[in-house]
A = this chain, B = another copy of it.
Amino acid sequence: MKSAQRLLEYAAKQGVSACFANPGTSEMHLVAALDATPQIRPVLCLFEGVATGAADGFGRMTGNPALTLLHLGPGLGNGLANLHNAYRARTPILSLIGEHATYHRANNPPLASDITALARPVSAWLKTVERPQDLVVDTAAALHAARTLGPAALILPADVAWSDEEPDPVTSAPDASPQGWLGALDQAAAALDARSVLLLGGRKLSARACSAAQRIAEKTGAQVYVETFPTRIERGAGRAPLKRLPYLTEMAVGVLAGAETVVLAGAVKPIAFFALPDRPTEIAPPGASIVEFFPPFGDPTEALEALADAVGAAKSHAARAETAAGATDAAARLDPGGFAQAIAALLPENAIVSDESNTLGLYAFDAAAGAAPHDWLTLTGGSIGQGLPLATGAAVACRDRRVVAIEADGSALYTIQSLWTQAREGLDVTNIILNNGAYAILKFEMMRAGINAQTEAAAELFDLRRPGIDFTQLAAGFGVPAQRVTTLAEFSAALRRSFATPGPTLIEAIFP
């Protein structure tokens, strides 16, 4: 039996069930091995950025690593941006990256490059399987790292993949998961009062975790915030009405002003997205003490429940998100407020939202606090082109749930090929493209940087209207039925229709 097959069989036994693939010549033995491991479903993607983003969506929703199958350094390169987002999300992913045969690398063939150098910045764990003997031990370590720390990468030389040599068995259990919170429980409990902020994050903010945080806040008087770009949060009407820390540094600084202590539960210390001339880069007030209560790679639910008990919080919280009002069916043109209201009113129960809406989706998250219970996923690493792949992978993971991608036009165009995989797999994804014909966020960021955004070069480089992009035709080209809407009533009708129709659809929402 070839190493490639042993690797996949081992992964399958460890619960791996999906492989988002865009293979090349050096991965042919892995392709062959997929045939012998029917437990692992191969999902073809037309571009590696779709494969890595889909693996991120799959990992966020299942807590279990999917494989990606990438072709050498350039294939990894194409997938890097979404691996960056997954790395910041700490999503369990195991990337299998094909490499030239060990004895061929020194020849420097045309497709050779330093795969390790390319993979390291986006990998929590990384190794080249240099010998067939190491195959299973390395795979076990990679899977463990993916589960505990985030994206892992296993680089597989072709001659190792095609070797028949028997690998060494796994003889020792991998190290236990890192646990950072038990020691800090007393410290965190003592720190929580009206002058403190509890900042939530981690791989998943479950409804229970959010409830515990809300109960802690109600008991201690601490403020509670979710990190600006949470990996995954369970929320909706009746649940704890938690707010996110604002994206804009100046607003986030205002929110934390006066805090003497920031208790981190799954979040990292808040930092400005970008430095700007004469602006702060730290969000917490100077001198505020930071208590690291729970590390960012895990699910903080149990830790937060223990903390709630430690502060003597009530068993249920008082504040609850109110059910959203109905969607407006007005003939008015779409605007961010009406859009948010429609999403909140119409989102089906148990939906998964992949949010890369940037400027136009500004109000959607807060409005959807009152929607039917759902999961909300965000752009964790700031690298655009995540939303459609993430939705695709989440839909592969959760075939019984409706996935809704709320996607900015400019961002959608990085990985628009996702639509084809949705059509191929018959995934229940509602893709909403917010089309304002511009990189609107850059106009805004340019003004924030103190620069006149009305210059000719800026007008040229932020414009998506010359020519206008027709997303309904792009969708049709990839096999996804699509519709263009311009009014709130049309949008609401299109949403209802999409939610009632199996398979993917695309709604191109034109904003003035």
Contact = CB atoms under 8 A, between A and B. Distances in A.
Interface of A: 21, 23-26, 28-29, 31-32, 34-35, 42, 44, 46-47, 49, 73-75, 77-78, 80-81, 84, 88, 100-101, 103-104, 107-111, 113-114, 117-118, 120-122, 158-159, 162, 229, 271-275, 277, 281-282, 380-383, 385, 410, 413-414, 416-417, 420, 423-424, 441-442, 445-446, 449, 451-452, 455-458, 460-461, 463-464, 466-474, 476-479
Given A28-B451, A457-B42, A469-B420, A120 B121 contact: no
Contacts of A24: 442
Give the number of times this chain occurs in the complex, counting copies: 2
Given A78-B80, A109-B272, 14 more contacts: A23-B442, A25-B441, A25-B445, A26-B274, A32-B457, A100-B275, A107-B282, A110-B229, A110-B271, A110-B380, A111-B273, A159-B275, A420-B469, A474-B477
A23 to B, nearest CB: 6
A483 to B, nearest CB: 14
Contacts of A275: 100-101, 103-104, 158-159
A46 B104 contact: no
Given A46-B414, A81-B74, A29 B451 contact: yes
B109 A274 contact: yes
Q: Which 9 A-B pairs have the closest CB atoms?
A: A77-B80, A467-B479, A74-B383, A473-B477, A101-B275, A34-B457, A474-B477, A104-B275, A74-B81
Given A77-B81, A80-B118, A455-B35, A273 B460 contact: no
Contacts of A463: 44
A29 B449 contact: yes
Contacts of A101: 274-275, 281
Given A110-B382, A413-B47, A461 B23 contact: yes
Contact of A81 (B25, B46, B78, B442): B78
A168 B273 CA distance: 31
A128 to B, nearest CB: 15
A284 B158 CA distance: 22
A118 B100 CA distance: 19
B114 A120 contact: yes
B74 A80 contact: yes
A385 B84 CA distance: 21
Give the one of A31, A108, A159, A273 with max B CB within 10 A: A31
Nearest to A41: B460
Give the one of A84, A417, A420, A477 with max B CB within 10 A: A477
A410 B44 CA distance: 12
Contacts of A271: 107-110
A176 B271 CA distance: 46
Nearest to A105: B275
A267 to B, nearest CB: 12
Nearest to A117: B117
Nearest to A33: B457
Nearest to A471: B477
A132 to B, nearest CB: 13
Contacts of A104: 272, 274-275, 281
A109 to B, nearest CB: 5
A21 B462 CA distance: 10
A274 B277 CA distance: 50
A445 B28 contact: yes
B78 A385 contact: yes
Contact of A479 (B80, B113, B446, B469): B469
Nearest to A40: B457
A44 B385 CA distance: 17
A455 B28 CA distance: 12
B442 A281 contact: no
B113 A460 contact: no
Given A78-B78, A104-B272, A461 B110 contact: no
A445 B31 CA distance: 12
A458 to B, nearest CB: 5
Contacts of A158: 274-275
A458 B36 CA distance: 11
A474 B442 CA distance: 26
Contacts of A478: 467, 469, 474
B46 A420 contact: no
Contacts of A460: 42, 44
A8 to B, nearest CB: 10
Nearest to A229: B110
